[in-house]
Amino acid sequence: MTVTIHLSPLLHHYCGGGPDRRVQGASVREVFAKLELSDPKLYASVCDETGSVRPHVNVFVNVESIRDLQGLDTRLVPGDTITILQAVSGG
Amino acid sequence: MEVGIAVEVGIAVEVGIALEVGIPLEVGIPVSGARRRVVADDADPQAAGVRPRHARQVRFTPFGAAAQQRLATSHALIVGVGALGSHVADTLARAGVGRLTLVDRDVVEESNLQRQILFDEADARAGRPKAEAAAEALRAIDASLHIDALVAHFDLRTFERLPARPDLIVDGTDNFATRYLLNDLAISSGTPWIHGAVIGAEGRAMVVLPGETACLRCIMPEAPPPGALDTCDTAGVLAPAVAQVAAVQSLEALKLLGGLRDQLVRGLVVIDAWRASTALFLRDAKPRADCVACGARSFPALTEDPADVVALCGRDAVQVRPRTAGDVDLAGLAARLGDAVTGVELRRGMLRFALPDGSARITLFADGRALVFGSDDVDRARAVYDRYVGLGGR
Output B231 or A9, whichever has higher pLDDT. A9
Single-letter amino acid, residue A85:
L
Closest chain A C-alpha to B229 CA, distance in angstroms:
7
3-state secondary structure (DSSP) of residue B208: strand
Q: Is residue B319 part of a domain?
A: yes
Do residue B201 and residue B314 come from a single domain? no
Q: State mean pLDDT over B265-269.
A: 97
- Please say which residue of B261, B280, B302 terminates a domain: B302
Neighbours of B54 (CB within 10 A): 19
Q: Is residue B65 part of a domain?
A: no
pLDDT at B123: 97
Q: Please tell me whether the overall predicted TM-score, pTM, comes out greater than 0.90 for this model.
A: no
Parallel/antiparallel/unpaired status of strands B202-208 and B268-272: antiparallel
Whether residues B295 and B336 share a domain: the answer is no
Query: How high is the ipTM of this complex?
Result: 0.91
Last residue of a domain, one of B274, B302, B330: B302
**B314 and A90 in contact (C-beta within 8 Å)?**
yes
- pLDDT for res B203: 97
Residue B62 lies in a domain: no
Residue B122 to residues B104, B113, B236: CA-CA distances in angstroms? 18, 11, 24
**pLDDT under 50: residue ranges of chain A:** none
Q: Given an 8 Å threshold on Cβ–Cβ distance, is B219 in contact with A60? A: no
Q: Domain limits at B347?
A: 309-392
**Each residue of B295-315: pLDDT tens digit?**
999 998 898 754 578 888 778
B83 and B117 assigned to the same domain? yes
Q: Considering CB atoms only, which of A8, A85, A91 is closest to B83?
A: A91
B360: Cα separation from own chain's centroid: 28
Which CATH number fits the domain that encloses residue B380? 3.30.310.10
Q: Are residues B315 and B260 in the same domain?
A: no
How would residue B66 be classed by pLDDT, with cut points 50, 70 and 90? very high
Give the list of residues 6+ apart from residue A77 with CB closer than 8 angstroms, or none.
Answer: A1
Are B298 and B314 contained in the same domain? no
Question: B260, B287, B302 — which closes off a domain?
Answer: B302
- Give residue B393's pLDDT band: very low, low, confident or very high (50, 70, 90): very low
C-alpha closest to that of B85 among B173, B147, B10: B173
Whether residue B145 is found in the same domain as residue B88: yes
Q: Among A11-15, B40-44, B167-171, which is the least confidently predicted range? A: B40-44
Mean residue pLDDT of chain B comes to 84
Give CA–CA dist B189/A10, Å, rounded.
34
Answer yes or no: do B290 and B313 share one domain: no
| Cα A75 to Cα A27: distance, rounded to the nearest angstrom | 4
Interface list for A 26-85 with B (CB within 8 A): 54-56, 58, 60, 62-63, 65, 81, 83, 85
Residues B90 and B228 reside in one and the same domain: yes
CA distance A42 to B281: 22
Evaluate if residue B233 carries a pLDDT over 70: no
Residues 6+ apart with CB under 8 A from B182: B79, B154, B169, B171, B173, B193, B195, B216
Rounded Cα gap, residues B171 and B195, in angstroms: 5
Residues B20 and B97 in one domain: no
- Characterize the bridge pairing of strands B309-312 and B277-281: unpaired
- The B residues from 329 to 388 touching A (CB cutoff 8 Å) are none
3-state secondary structure of B273: helix
Between CA B89 and CA A3 the distance in angstroms is 42
- Is B322 found in the same domain as B204? no
Which domains, ranges and CATH numbers included, belong to chain A? 2-86 (3.10.20.30)
Nearest to B193 by CA among B180, B183, B178, B205: B183
Q: Examine the domain organization and report whether B188 and B149 are in the same domain.
A: yes
